[in-house]
Amino acid sequence: MNAGFRIPLDERACDVLRTIEATGESAWFVGGCVRDALLGRPAHDFDIATSARWPNVAALARERGWRVVDTGCAHGSIAVVADGLPVETTTYRVESGYSDARRPDSVKFVDDIASDLARRDFRMNAIVYHPERGLLDPFDGRGDIARRIVRTVGDARKRFEEDPLRIMRALRFSAQLGFAIDPATERFVFACAPHLERVAKERLFAELSKLLLSPCAGRTLARYAAVIERIVFGATHRAHAPGESGDKSPFEKTARIVDAAPVGKTVRFAALFCDFDEGEGSPGERGSQAARRRADDARSCLERLKAPRALTQDAAALVAAAADPCRARREDMLLQAARYDGDVAFLRMLFALEDACEKAASGKSRGKEALFDELLARGEPMSRRDLALSGRDLVECGIAPGPAIALVLDSMLAAVIAGRIANSRDELIAAVPRFLASVDNAAASGAAEKYRKKMRQDVDEDGKAR
């Protein structure tokens, strides 16, 4: 025990701990708030382990006027919301049996903190702190933090078989903190990976999301491709041997794209499928075929992981669009923007993803995201809405409501982007007969539908029209 060590903690969390201990029970801060403090990071989530049974903690909290939230009282856990700050409190316990690969089949409440710490996942998370008694670290978690390693408490196989999600947590901590996984623990990261099939898909999605948003995501993807592939492509997919890294890893290029992409859940999930299987598929597969296949892979994975529908649709659309990138020129980028109806949020992700793909391939990019921001700042036209006239104006010019309206507006937008006509209401009104004639001629030749599809290509077969 290190009584001289001090951690700055939120006074409201300390008040909860003091309230519990005023009844004669013991209580300690545990988990992430202690680990983060030892890493020099501010603590955000506060967890208290205590000898007090949860009904007694709940009664004490209500006496203080604090709100109580049931977060798992069957396992001794409640959240005490002290003046707006949630503090998770859990009774010391030991566990046995994990038939659902998540929760213990039986829980026994105990009175000593040492038994409670012995059931925890990683040594760096099995450190407790008390404002007066200092640190208690029976498994040298502080040493693991100093050595920058992730290591299980006790037998790694047992820990991972109890709750296989701990495998993904090990990878996520490695990606977040830049820590290596201890060799003895790493061995069972690979050996126990098949057990991930028992884990609820929502839990896998949550951990994979955190991993992808981490500073060292790419390195982790490359080294643990054999594990990640099980989640992304399912148990039947197997591309390489466990532990392969460097250029041998099929995730190596993907890892570079992920690292080069901006930190955002949708764009990073899209990056996971960009060019992953370069060289696979039929020899003549190019362009739209490859785009559809990659988009289908992304959609299938995210649906299997029960990701939010909007994220699934956007990520699949990004993958398809990035497979056929435009040139980093004003006209090309504006025409690309028009295909997606000037959806600024989507286009910014798309151009950032295309930049990331270029940077991963050659070490540099042409800066499409920055150029897109310049086009936005200049107010360049990117959709029908940006034209100086509307569909109602065309109806007033005598064009019957229907497909011709959209075709004329699309033709005008392309002409404005190309600089063939000014974006002036008077000039566009005057040119309506000419544009209508060109649309009528195209329709007569059967090309109008082809033109419409080119300008308003729907890359998402699930209905996300752009």
Summarised one tens digit per residue, pLDDT across range 438-454 is 876 655 444 445 444 54
In whole angstroms, give the CA distance from residue 381 to residue 409.
12
pLDDT, one tens digit per residue, over 343-400 is 999 999 999 999 999 998 888 888 999 999 999 999 999 999 999 999 999 999 888 8
Tell me, what's the pLDDT at 324?
82
How far, in Å, are 93, 236, 253 from residue 110 at the CA level? 5, 43, 49
Please give the pLDDT value at position 234.
75
Pairing, β 27-30 against β 46-50:
antiparallel
Give strand pairing partners of 181.
Answer: 150
What pLDDT shows up at residue 398? 87
Q: Report how far residue 38's alpha carbon sits from residue 231's, in angstroms, rounded to the nearest whole number.
A: 32
CA 89 to chain centre: 28
- For residues 54 and 77, the answer to whether their CB atoms sit within 8 Å is yes
What residue segments make up the domains of the chain, in order of their start? 11-146, 148-278, 383-455
Residues of the chain scoring pLDDT < 70: 1-4, 97-103, 235-250, 275-288, 440-466
Which tokens is 203 given? Answer: 């839990």
* pLDDT at residue number 279: 38
Distance, CA of 390 to CA of 121 (rounded, Å): 61
CATH code for the domain defined by 11-146: 3.30.460.10
DSSP output for 2-24: BTT------HHHHHHHHHHHTTT
What is this structure's pTM? 0.84
DSSP assignment, residue 121? Answer: S
When the candidates are 1.10.760.10, 3.20.20.70, 3.40.50.620, 1.10.3090.10, the CATH number that belongs to 148-278 is 1.10.3090.10
Output the pLDDT for position 462.
44
Give helix 225-233 / helix 201-212 axis angle, nearest 10°.
Answer: 130
Fold match, 11-146 / 148-278: no
pLDDT attached to residue 99:
67
